[in-house]
Amino acid sequence: MADLDVHVRATMDRDRDWIRELIRGRWAAEFVFVHGETFYPDRLPGFLAEADGEQAGLATYTTAGGQCEIVTLDSLKPGRGIGGALIRSVREQAEREGCRRLFLTTTNDNLRALRFYQRKGFTIAAVRPNAIAEARKHKPIPELGLDDIPIRDEIELELDLSGIGGKS
């Protein structure tokens, strides 16, 4: 399918309710629990993708200590260029803020995300075996994920923005 005509803009206060609903619907709670930390995406900066005048995707992120972490990335129309456009916007923002590293965490079952990020130049930075057992104490994460693969491990992927190493 052809890419859509996607418009990406920074999220605003008036998007908060929509963001909360989206995150609750797609991530089983209003918050994300990752590498032992809790994030509320509706309180984070983000980018919203619109296609044909409708919300089509969301990325939220946080920056600290020269690093930018993508906390959530959701495309409502997969395979149409929305995820790519959102990643580009977060990356440009991270570069504007002088970040040396852009990173995120996904889970072992999410082969689509692993493919997606690696094709965008991300590399695996860490694997946290069985991290989801701890996350399940905080929110209801199903046993089986995409393709009925048991959800078990956190996989951290990173993109070097420092210009060293030729990756960016």
Q: State the residues that interact with ligand COA by CB under 6 A.
A: 72-75, 78-84, 104, 106, 110, 112-113, 116, 119
Q: Considering the complex, what minimum distance in angstroms separates the CB of residue 82 from ligand COA?
A: 4
Q: Considering the complex, what minimum distance in angstroms separates the CB of residue 164 from ligand COA?
A: 25
How many whole angstroms separate alpha carbon 86 and alpha carbon 60? Answer: 9
Pairing of strands 123-128, 154-160: antiparallel
Q: Please report where in the chains the tokens 């991270």 appear, as a residue.
A: 94
Q: Considering the complex, what minimum distance in angstroms separates the CB of residue 66 from ligand COA?
A: 21
3 or 98: whose CB is closer to ligand COA?
3
118 or 163: whose CB is closer to ligand COA?
118
Query: How buried is residue 107: exposed, middle or buried, by Cβ count under 10 Å (0-12/13-18/19+)?
Result: buried
119 or 137: whose CB is closer to ligand COA?
119
